Each structure stands twice: as C-alpha cells, then as structure tokens.
Chain A
Amino acid sequence: MNHQPFRKPTGGNIDRSQPLTFTFDGKVYQGYSGDTLASALMANGVKLLARSFKYHRPRGLTGYGVEESNVLVQLRTGARSEPNIPATQVELYEGLVAESQNRWPSLHFDIGAVNSKLSGLFPSGFYYKTFMWPAKFWPFYEHAIRHIAGMGKSPTLEDPDSYAHNYRHCDVLIAGGGPAGLMAALSAGQSGARVILCDENADFGGMLRGRRDTIRGKPGPEWVADTAARLAAMKNVRLLRRTTAAGYYDHNLIVLDERVADHKATPENHEPRHRIWHVRAKEVVLATGSIERPLVFADNDRPGVMLTSAAQAYANAHGALAGRRAVIFTNNASAYAAAADLKAAGIEVQAIVDLRDSLEAPELKIAANANIGVLNRHVVVAAHGAKSVHSVTVMPVDSNTTPVGEAQEILCDVVCLSGGWTPSVHLFSQSRGKLCYDETLSAFVPDKSFQRERSAGACQGAFQLDACLHEGAKAGAQAAVAAGFATTAADVPRCSADAVVKPRLLWAIPAPDHLHGGKQFVDLQNDVTAADVGLAYQEGYHSVEHLKRYTTLGMGTDQGRTSNVNGLAIMAGHRAEAITAVGTTTFRQPFTPIPMGAVAGLNAHDHVAPVRTTPLHHWHESLGSPFAPTGQWLRAQGYPKDGETLEQATMREAKHVREKVGIVDVSTLGKIDVQGPDALEFLNRVYINSFSNLAVGKCRYGVMLREDGLVDDDGVVTRLAENRYMITTTTTHASAVMNRLEYLLDVDWPSLNVHLLSVTDDWSGIAIAGPHSRTVLTKVTSADLSNSAVPFMGYAEIDIDGVPVRLFRISFSGELAYEINMAPNATRTVWDALLKAGANQEIIPYGLEAMNVLRIEKGHVVGGELNGRTTADGLGFGKMISTKKAFVGKVPARRAGLTRDDIHQLVGLVPTDEKTRIPRGAQLIADPKATKPVAMQGEVTSQCMSPNLGHPIALALLNGGRARHGETLKAHSPITGQTVTVTVTNPIFIDPQGERLRG
C-alpha cells in the first residue's frame, strides 16, 4: 500500500517524512503531507475518479485548483459528510475518507452510464419538449428526473462544527497571493498601511508553486517563502492563508471565507471550522491570477485529458505524474515550458500538437532543449479510450484551421490542453467593474473600475512573471497612496522569462466525419457539448444568458470557470458576431462555494434571533411555567400544579383572579419616557384622544393610528410631572412605536422640544388584580390607597417593603387592579412581598394564558384584533376620537373605505349551545354548505373557555358587527372540520359597566 506508482522518487513540495493514509471509495491509499486528495490519487495512479452529471461518463482530474470540474467527492462521513468537494481543494490529512459521487453501484460499473447510450434523446432542454402526456404522469417523470440529477448527498445529521464571523477594517486588501499579490503586499506593507493579503490556497505563491520559474536566481517557491516571512514580520500586514475572497460588495466590503480547520480531520481546541471575514477596505488590489482554458474536441472528457498547467503543477509541486506518456495540445506558447517540466519529471512527451502556423524562437528552443517533437499546424481531433485515454488522433489543419489531410494516432495516457488563459475577473466584475475583450490575449480583461480597486498580474491580462511582479508592486503602492499613505513601489526582483501568450483560436475542433465524432465537451460538469451550443443557437436561444439557461452551461459548482469563454465563443461563431457582442454572463458571489454554516456564523439555531427575559424569569422557571415567545420576549404562561395541564391551570388562575387576587409579571410591556416642554403637544399629535386635561398623577388609555388612518397600537399614558409622561405600548410593538415616534420628532416636527427614551428595561412590572388586590397592597405599603387617594386611572409613587415603586391604578382584567413598576433589581422583593402579604387572601401568581382569558372576557383588544386592518371605530374606540384636535391618521381615517358600514367591527361570540369551543381562526359565515366562493362576514380573532362565565366565548371582527348583536352565524373552520353556531354579543362579557375596576 506504500507503493505510489506515479510518484517521482524525489522532488515536490511535499513532506515525504510524513506519510498519510486515506481512503477513496473504500480503498486505502497513501500520500504525503503537502498533498491534496487530487495529487495523492494521481500519485497512486487512480484515474477514474468521477461520473458525469447527465451521461455518467467516466471522468478524471482536469485541473489543479478551484477550476476542477470533474472530480467532486463526498468528503468525510456521518455528521461531517460534505458533498461536491473538488478533490483539488482538499488537503490530505491522516485518515481522510472520500467517496466518488453520482454513480451506482460503483464508479467502475455505473448503471447510469446507459444514459450515455441514449444521449441522442437528451439534447439540451429535452425535458421542455416531453414528459407532458399524460399530464398526471408528470410527478412520476419528475421523481425520476430528480433522482438522476443532483450530485453528492446532503448530510442528514446536525453539523457538529462551529463557525465564526469577523468584522475588520483595513487600508489595503489584496486578494490573491501569487507573485503579483505578494509584490503588492510588499509595497503596501512598507507604507505602514494596514494590509490584509489573502489567498485561497494552503500557501502563497499562486502559479509559482507549480512552475519552475526562478526569481533572484532561486526557485520561485523559495522567493515566496522569503517574501511571506518578510511580510509576516510587518506588524501592519495580516496574512491569511486558505482564505478565499468570496464576494466583493458595495462600498468596498469584501467577504472572505477562511478555512480554519478543513485541512484537519476535525477542528481542534474549539477553533471554528470556517471564519467569514467582513473586511471594509479603503482600497483593494485584485491579484487573482488566471486559469488555463481547455480545448474542445471529440471525447475531450476522457480521464487523462487535463489542463497543461495542472499536469505541470502536480509534477513540480507534488512529484505526482499524470501518466507515463503525454501529448500536449496547445494554441499558444505557454505550454512549452510546461512540456519541458513534464519531460524533466519523467513523463514521456510524445509530441506538442500546436494549432499555430509558425512558432517563435523561444518556444522552439524549449522544445529542442527538451527533445520534444512539435507538430505545428496540427490539432487533436479526438481522444480515445474509455476509463482512461489511450491515444489521440491528430490531424493537420489548413489555413482556415479546418482539419485536412492524414490523421495519425498517437499513443498516450495523458493529454494536456492549453487553449490560452482566462483572467479571473470575478471579483472585479462583482465590484461593478466593466470588462473588455482583448483580441491578442483572446480574453476578457478589466476595463473601467467603479469601486476603489485595481487589478494586477494575470487577472488583468499580464501573463508574464516579470510583468506580474512589476504590476503587483505598482498596484500595491498605488493602493496605499490612495488610502492616504506615502510610498513607492517595492523593488522588483529579476526573474526568469515567460512565454508570450498569444493564442491562435479554434473554439471547437471539428472532427472529420469518418471519425464518427464523439461528444465535444464544453462544460464538463454539466455535460454541455459544442453541439448543445449549436442547438441552442438553432432554436433561437441566442443570448449568452439564454444559452446558459437552456444548456446549463456554466451553472455547475465551478460556475463555468473553464467553459464559459469557449461556450460563448462558439455561440459568437454561430451568430457570426464578435465575442464582445455576445458578452459574458454575470459573475456572482460567492467566488467559490462556501458552507452555509459559515455564512450563518454564530447567528443560527437558538441564536437565529435573540431572546429577552424578565427579572422574574428564573422564578417562573422554578415553578415550572412554560414560556411563550412573544416578539423577542419569553413570557411565563401559567403555573400548572401537580397533575394539572396548562389549560387547567389557566382556568383555575383566571377564575381565582376574578374571585380573589393574583399577580402577574408584566415587565415586557413597552415603556417610553417622554419629557420636555412640548411633550403634551407631541402626545396630542400622535394619539387619537387628547391629553390636554390629563392632570399630573393621572393615567389615560390612548390609541395611536398609523399614517394611513388604521390602528397602530394602544397603551396607557401617565402624566408623571408637568412636562413628563410615561407611555406604554404592547409588548410586540414597542420598538416599532419607538422608532416611529423618533422619526416624527426628528423628521417632521423638529421644532418640538421633546426627549424620548425607551425605559422598558429600566422598570419592571407586576400587575395585581382581583377584588382583594387593594387589601393585599395595603399590607405592604403605608401609602393611602383609598379610592380618593388613588382612584381608577390614578397614579402614585409609593414604597412597597421599602422599595420605591410607581403605582398605576389601571386594569387589563376588568377587576380592581394595579400595575406596579419598580427598579428591576427590586422586582423579586416586591413580588415576594406581595405573595407573602397576600397569603390570607389566597393570592396566586397567574400567567400569560390566564391574563389572556381575563382580557377576552373583558373585551380588550390585542394582536388578533390589532391586525393592521382595523379602524379605531371598528375596535370600539370611536368615542375616544377627538374632534377638537388634529392627530396623525385623522384625515386618511375618513376615507370611504375606512368608514363604510360593513367594515369589521369588534363583537363578542357565544356558542348557542353554550358548550362547544369556538374554533380558533374560524370564519363567520351564514351557510357552510353554500357553493364556493362563500362570502365571509367576519373572523374569530381570540377565543377561550371562560371559567367565570362557564361557557366558551370569543372575540371576532364582523362586518358592521356592532349593529348585529343577537344574530346567529356559523363559526366555520373547514381546515379543522369544526363548525359552531354562535350568537353575536357585546364584546365585553364581564362587567360591561366597569363597576369592578372602579370598586
């Protein structure tokens, strides 16, 4: 198992002293530290690594980095399993487990491969043309389609790893740490600017990692290591390895995805698996390099057909050999050095097949020195072999690049393709930058920038090392200067020369008829062929965007990194238009896929939204109360005794309060302190009723409308002092009301001198309600609580057990009741004091549910009734509406639609049998058997069993309901299959005259 037949005995940037064992498709292999899963599989000679999406064709490695489109694996197992991970992006670690995808039962014998035989039936978009008959069969067809599609499998268990976010600011962010990025970092770093340099790979160096360039006479990787060390020594420079610049957003926000622990079996010592950085950069340097382009010919997807630069990098950086015998197929000069590298690594290079007519001296020299034969003006027209390539057919081309003349077959187990280079302009485009097409390079390159960024190196079309170093140095300095620092470009080292990339184009190599042309793949991942592009054209899908969507070209996990340009160029050919006229599809975030867990960071699961608790939370908890989320708050629902259900407890509590006394935690109510000389004027403008005659020490119920005249919220206004009020809001509306009031003061009425402060958390609240509430209170305070001292809607500042409190004589339940506000730390003292003092009166705590029952019995409106579509009059507040003053919403509330007779008005409902619970969410109708659509006259908004009346009740909104008391209707809930005959009543079921609360 130690045998790695395709590993060079020496060389490469791997640590041979650290062998690592891993498993692929159940078979155990060995690689070395410094390997990727891809390089290790290559070293082991495993060529068949994947099956294609649609046709299940055998596939092998094609790339070295993020461009890999074939070999996606299911990595790890169990809860840590992850689908669709490119083997090129996986750093090897001890014990790694990977499996191939999209095949059954095995990679070598895949039943799905029958699709390949039937491929004639599956051109692009075939599913739009069929599966329509009989219509009811579509679900079965669809079921089958879905199971064939998809690639890897979703994990089914919860992810055990954690993720982090990180917000940072810097002066210069550099994306990409190849030669250009490193030089940019040197320039910017020496200026003192705060610099972040990130690269998606395990180490810096970019293309230098896989080539044999020299810088300052030393191998590239040595210069990289020196430079990284120099940068690491600069305090103002932050180096981020394994960190992808995933998205470029507005106002120079760059999102980075750092793979903190993906190169390990599991994260260690509580480190997050990934960390998402939100970097706000003053200036950005894009140095994201370029990616080699494949060439399109028949059966160009056979395992062993790959990018030249990839084969070169595997050999140089890992000592891993793509095969024994290679054919290089190129249309430009950059493949020659690579060919020489392969040869030096021990691969027999059978020939360089070069599409160009005449070659230049430098590349000829490389070939001659390496003793490699060159077939210029030739093309590879087809590859042969099934699970691995075993030969290619090569033909000469004429001056129109049409293959003519005699074909020859060359034996080989690797075919290296070099169709030119595609600059990685993703981030530039995301920054809204405009691209232009460079004819010489036959590539899209950055043109006009819109944000504070610049591109340097191969990503902007500089394909020579020397130029990359210079450009990088210059861009780094420019960025630092633009960010306000003084500097000049760092010194640029001398380096070896690169070939000049001037591809001669032939976007798809026509296969002569006698070869019965195999498929010419453009997008390997989505199995899109040159013929598919042709079909799209033929059927009118001419726009690149139609091409993409009709054929799925470029829609895979690699987002068409190696296929888009070829595809659109083929389309341009059909359209007989310039490539510029065809244009590109849109580059979108993320640059490469990022785990959803990382995107969520800490803000998922139980932290997806915050929760708020009251000062009595633990007390409620200790009594076993369940909690109901209400907005952000958790509210205690009730206190079931042994053997009691919550529902039973609710009935008991609600009855007890009306008969005796109870206390409830009402801390969650919104509270706003309103101060200033214009406070009264302000309140008069925002409430429908007037506060002009509200005396200091008095409370008044108030209702606010929205700008459109419908009810917004209600609450109690208390005048604490001449120019000071406290207003309450409903729990869920508190922040919206606060925001709106702040808006009105700041934007519309800046001349009003009023200060607002949300004091919800500064005052906790306890309500005490029931006929004995005064008796209990009197025991804990020396203050005079008589009806004359503290009448209904009165207010007093008193002491309870030594705690200063605000006492409001208000009632939500309709009973004699008070609300007590106090400093939060004193809540428990007051609560305990009341419970203790009330023992003789049999005081009990009651919860949200009982409170709700009490308020339904009393006909008070809350959420279900304050549904944003009700008018003040409809809810029964008509008499409160001031006719003397202007207030927000007054004029719009008079519109015809809001004053019509059949508008929703609040009513009560009682089941005519006085027994059956009225279904929640029921609609009020005349006849459930009527033909649909049935006219709905109203809706049940709140319902409960009333323990005090002994029968169920409900509140409802009914068209013109106030005039319909006494009518019977059906409360109909077809979704739960319930129908109850109800009688319309006054919504105030208990004490309509309000004698109890004044008592």
Chain B
Amino acid sequence: MPDTESGLASTDGVFTKCESCGDPIYEKDLASRFNVCPHCEFHYPLSAPDRIRLLADTGSFEGRDEGMLAGDPMGFEGYGEKLAAARKKTGLDDAVLSGTARIGGHGVALAAMDFRFIGGSMGSVVGEKISRAMEFAYDEGLPLVIVSSSGGARMFEGVYSLMQMAKTSVALSRYMTGSMPYVSILADPTFGGVTASFATAADVVIAEPKARIGFAGARVIESTTKERLPEGFQTAEFQKDHGLVDRIVHRLALKNDLERFLGLLA
C-alpha cells in the first residue's frame, strides 16, 4: 500500500517504482494518466488542482472563496507551523478547492479536497468553502460535484472541526430541498467526519477503485477489537457490496461518467 500522504509519486527522476505492483513507471506516463499506474491501474492520490484538471472542461474552472485561511481558534501548539508547511508543500490555502466549472458543457459547482494538505482534514476552511459551494449551487440551481479525500477531523481546531460536520449538513440539507443533483466522489482515503457528513448524504456516491472509505480506520478497529478484518475491508468494492456506494469508476473514466449522469438529467 503506497504512502497516500505523499500525494504524488516522486517526480525527481524519470522513473519511479509503483508501490502497488512494483513495476517501474515513466513519471510522465503517471502524470498524463492522472496518477494511475499504467501497469496495475492503482490509483495514487490526486491533488485538488489535478482533480479539477481531470474533471472540468478545459479552462472552465473558476475558483471561489480563494485566499480563505485557517485560524487557530484553540491556539493549538504546532498548528501554525503545520499549516505553513502544508501551504508550502501544496501551494494551496487549505485542503479544498471550490468553484464553478463545466463538465461536458454542463455547468456545476465543483469542489475537490486535497489529501496532501494535513491529510485532507476538515477544519473551518474546508467546512466553510464546502458550505459556500452548496449555497451557491442552491442559489444558482447548479448540480453539485464534490470530490472527497480526507483522514477526518482536523484535531488542531478542536470542536470547530466537529462543527464543520454540522455546518456542511445544514448547508447540504438546504441544497437537497432543491431538485438539482449532488454527486459525491470518494477518493482514497475518505474517513471520519467527512464520510459522516456531506460525503455520503449524496444522490449518487461514486468511488474510485480500491479507495478506502469508512468512519473509523482499519487500524483503529483492529487495535480496539482485536478482530482480524477481512481482505479488502473498507475498499470501494467492499462498500459497494455493502450497498453504501453506487458506482466504482476508474479515474480516467470519471469525467465521462459525470457527463453521462449530468446529461441524463439535463
């Protein structure tokens, strides 16, 4: 299992070794395939900007609420440094990008999380930007597409992190009183407060192949219950078998899949 926090395989050289199948990959191939291994089709984490490049019609994305930054409401030791490092590493303000875009010509509100930014954890900025995207989509009558990838709560923000579940839920609840669809896409990994709020309360839940999805992580469960978990526990395929996910869609087919869905309701 690759180190998903790394976000991208190394781009130092020409080749990198697939952490899943062990085969060497041309890094250019990996990038052109949006971080899907050309040999074993393993889906590596995809940054939020790349995710938008994957899904939005070329040049159609217009970011919203840019420049919004995390506060440090608890004065939590080390949070400031953590934020600064994450900003530097990713070039992002926080763990989500949001805005409007066209997908196959269909106007949508689009948000994508970035696991590289403190594990895609949901702090106040994620909650606020997601909620604003929902409000904007509701006001404008746009379909809503959110790509989640999150380790869960941003503990550094304490209860504010928890309250982002409530915030996004009230915003989504209002959005759902309209008749426009909400598609939630779950990328590896999606856990905790994100799964237990906006990421699962969707009309359609799509997951990437083998993405790990759940509330509590497998390691926590194993260490708490001493139970051996079955092969493939919490993978997208497992969750689809358990009726929790609608579709498993290969990353390179995802844009087309959304176009089909949006086209059906257009």
Chains A and B belong together in one complex:
no
A interface list, Cβ under 8 A from B: none
User: Which B residues are closer than 8 A to A by beta carbons?
Assistant: none
